[in-house]
Amino acid sequence: MPSHQNTGRGSGPRPLDGITVVSLEHAVAAPFCTRQLADLGARVIKVERPGAGDFARGYDQRVLGQSSHFTWINRSKESLALDLKQPLALQALMQLLGEADVLVQNLAPGAAARMGLSFEALRVQFPRLIVCDISGYGADGPYRDKKAYDLLIQSEAGFLSITGTPETPSKAGISVADIAAGMYAYTNILSALLLRGRTGEGSHIDVSMLEALGEWMGYPMYYAHDGAPPPPRTGASHASIYPYGPFVAGDGGTVMLGLQNEREWQAFCDKVLERPELARDARFDSNAQRNRNRDALQAEILLIFGALTAGQVVQRLDAAGIANAHVNDMAGLWAHPQLEARQRWRTVNTPAGDVQALLPPGLNSAFDYRMDAVPAVGEHTARILASLGLSGEQIDAVMNHGKVAD
């Protein structure tokens, strides 16, 4: 596991220094969005339920007894534990919004509006506030009130229909619908901040998981345009380019390779397969033909690879300039030499101790990313409430979910 820490490339101000984000968030989509904002310097105040907090804290105990999901997407935040059914707690939240730039929420459909936290209600008091609602299906339409989890959206968006083997549709191994929605929320918030800088007014952002993943499904949708057959499920192989995918060598090792054009196909036949005549075979002389006759071509490739080790196949591919990759597991990613060489690891504190974390993608010469601690539930509640001017008695009442004594 990596142990060193990148010292950063820049020491200047971060792009979102001075921006305050309040987030009524749980699970993945909204926390993933707000962590990106925190990475860029924003102060992110995560409002959690007193006691258990964000239910994603309980998904598993894989990181020093803490949840893997939660550790990943909640660093650099402050945790404010509020029971928003209590009037004093809701009053404190409204006071906090008066100092905030952005409100993000992914509560159950309609829950924020019932507490008076809709954009329409808030814009009267806070005209500069940007409100971002993240939901499964959006703020209107016949699916508005349906519950939405990542796997359900993968299904609704057609993702399962093109992922897996011919026999078995498969979900993605990560929460792609949540991540897609979180990223579109993040970029929309950045755009809204730029717009507010020009107009002086906040705006409403309505991000749907279905629409976010639907955008990512653009290629297969167009592939099936006007009733055409959709891309087939081809496991780890490409659905429309061949050869492009995993191939087993004689020692049992798997090599991932990809061809993109006819020049590479010629080099593959000449230098990797050492069968130059295959490049001129009518069954294989264009990508459309190779894709149509992939079973026959696969047999030719596996026959030759079967006499080689995976290392020898990679050597031939590299010599021919053919793209290839290791089929890594998680241990391989933790130990990836490229991430090590580029010093992509930082140490982040959690309530249970230090863990390693990848820097956000993208190096910027002007600033270093914020990589602060993962908070405990309610860790910052007393300090935040005190900063709002609440008395000690009021703070005790909020933190104990009771009423102020007469």
Residue at 154: amino acid letter? Q
pLDDT digits (tens, 9 = 90+) for 90-141: 999 999 999 999 999 999 999 999 999 999 999 999 999 999 999 999 999 9
Q: Are both 311 and 378 inside the same structural domain?
A: no
pLDDT digits (tens, 9 = 90+) for 335-371: 999 999 999 999 999 999 999 999 999 999 999 999 9
CA torsion sign for 294, 295, 298, 303 is: negative
Average pLDDT over residues 228-257: 93
Q: What is the pLDDT of residue 69?
A: 97
Q: Are both 182 and 261 inside the same structural domain?
A: no
Q: Are both 323 and 348 inside the same structural domain?
A: no
Q: Which two tokens stand for residue 266?
A: 């010629």
Q: Which residue has the tokens 């054009």?
A: 261
Domain contains 231: no
Domain contains 335: no
Q: What is the pLDDT of residue 10?
A: 74
Q: What is the pLDDT of residue 179?
A: 98
The β-bridge relationship of strands 102-105 and 20-24 is parallel
Q: Are both 45 and 142 inside the same structural domain?
A: yes
Q: Are both 162 and 301 inside the same structural domain?
A: no
pLDDT bin (cut points 50, 70, 90) of residue 9 is: low
pLDDT digits (tens, 9 = 90+) for 112-122: 999 999 999 99
**Total domains, the chain:** 2
Domain contains 282: yes
Q: How far is CA 195 from CA 13, 101, 119, 155, 204, in A?
A: 21, 13, 17, 35, 12
Q: What is the pLDDT of residue 406?
A: 39
For residues 214 and 180, what is the distance between their CA atoms, to the nearest angstrom?
9
pLDDT digits (tens, 9 = 90+) for 193-230: 999 999 999 999 999 999 999 999 999 999 999 999 99
pLDDT digits (tens, 9 = 90+) for 160-190: 999 999 999 999 999 999 999 999 999 999 9
Contact between 205 and 133 (Cβ < 8 Å): yes
Q: Which of 279, 299, 327 is the last residue of a domain?
A: 327
Q: Are both 25 and 97 inside the same structural domain?
A: yes
Q: Are both 213 and 250 inside the same structural domain?
A: no
Q: Which of 327, 359, 383 is the last residue of a domain?
A: 327
Q: Which of 327, 360, 375 is the last residue of a domain?
A: 327
Q: What is the pLDDT of residue 5?
A: 52
**For residue 254, pLDDT beyond 50:** yes
For residues 231 and 242, what is the distance between their CA atoms, to the nearest angstrom?
13
Q: What is the pLDDT of residue 402?
A: 54
pLDDT digits (tens, 9 = 90+) for 264-319: 999 999 999 999 999 999 999 999 999 999 999 999 999 999 999 999 999 999 99
Print the domain residue range for 201. Answer: 20-218+344-399
Contact between 124 and 130 (Cβ < 8 Å): no
Q: Are both 135 and 209 inside the same structural domain?
A: yes
Contact between 310 and 251 (Cβ < 8 Å): yes
Residue 320, domain CATH: 3.30.1540.10
Q: Are both 318 and 350 inside the same structural domain?
A: no
Domain contains 237: no
Q: Are both 90 and 214 inside the same structural domain?
A: yes
Burial class of residue 205, CB neighbours in 10 A (0-12, 13-18, 19+): buried
Contact between 310 and 326 (Cβ < 8 Å): no
Domain contains 316: yes
Q: Are both 310 and 352 inside the same structural domain?
A: no
Contact between 57 and 23 (Cβ < 8 Å): no
For residues 124 and 127, what is the distance between their CA atoms, to the nearest angstrom?
6
Residue 73, domain CATH: 3.40.50.10540
Q: Are both 280 and 307 inside the same structural domain?
A: yes
**For residue 2, pLDDT beyond 90:** no
Q: What is the pLDDT of residue 401?
A: 74
**DSSP secondary structure of 213-240:** HHHHTHHHHHHTGGGPPPPPP-TTS-SS
Q: What is the pLDDT of residue 6?
A: 46
- Indicate the average pLDDT of the chain: 94
Return the active site residues.
238
Domain contains 29: yes
Q: What is the pLDDT of residue 240?
A: 87
What are the φ and ψ backbone dihedral angles of 221, each rounded to 5 degrees?
-65, -45
Domain contains 272: yes
pLDDT digits (tens, 9 = 90+) for 339-348: 999 999 999 9
Domain contains 227: no
**For residue 4, pLDDT beyond 70:** no
Name the CA radius of gyration of the chain, rounded: 26
pLDDT digits (tens, 9 = 90+) for 16-62: 999 999 999 999 999 999 999 999 999 999 999 999 999 999 999 99
